[in-house]
Amino acid sequence: MTVSADPSRTAADRLTRAAARWFARARSGTMGKPDRAALHAWLAEDAVHGEAYLKIGDVWDAAEHVRADPQVLAMREKALSRYPAAFKPARPALAAVCAILIAAAGIALVGWIVGATTQPAFQVFRTGVGQTANIGLTDGSRLTLDTDTTIRTQIT
């Protein structure tokens, strides 16, 4: 059996999405005791969960730096100058939701940029009992996994 990079990329995408969901829930301030216990259980389940969670935190921090960038602040001021000084949203809750959506879009954009310009931090490949796999890595090298094997690679 030959395993291509696409199935592991899909697994990496699922892991990143799960980590992002947990990170967003933790930052929402609405996690109860059962949610926090579930997060801790998810983190303890596999070391790669913690690594993915920390990577999402790094993307969040990068978004904070973007928000304070002088060019971004200048664009904000320019956009705000188009409205009268007395402009106030009619519905503060709607304005808050819009602000959250804009922040989430910024985080997603930074995550996409980071993902598009860097190699994944690691990849995990597994074979079940009785399976073998020939895997091509992004640096051009190849791996052959024997039965019931798990390997984590990191291209640096």
Looking at residue 89, its pLDDT comes to: 57
Beta pairing class for 123-126 and 133-136: unpaired
pLDDT string in tens for the chain (156-residue length):
344 445 556 888 888 889 888 888 888 888 888 988 998 899 889 889 988 888 888 888 777 777 777 887 788 788 877 766 655 556 677 777 777 888 888 787 777 666 655 555 567 788 888 788 888 877 778 888 888 888 888 776
Looking at residue 88, its pLDDT comes to: 59
- Residues 67, 72, 73: CA angle, nearest 5 degrees: 90
Looking at residue 99, its pLDDT comes to: 79
pTM of the predicted protein model: 0.43
Looking at residue 115, its pLDDT comes to: 61
Q: Are 24 and 59 in contact (CB under 8 A)?
A: no
Separation of alpha carbons 59 and 55, rounded Å:
6
Looking at residue 28, its pLDDT comes to: 82
Main-chain phi, psi angles of 150, to 5 degrees: -130, 135
Q: Are 153 and 123 in contact (CB under 8 A)?
A: yes
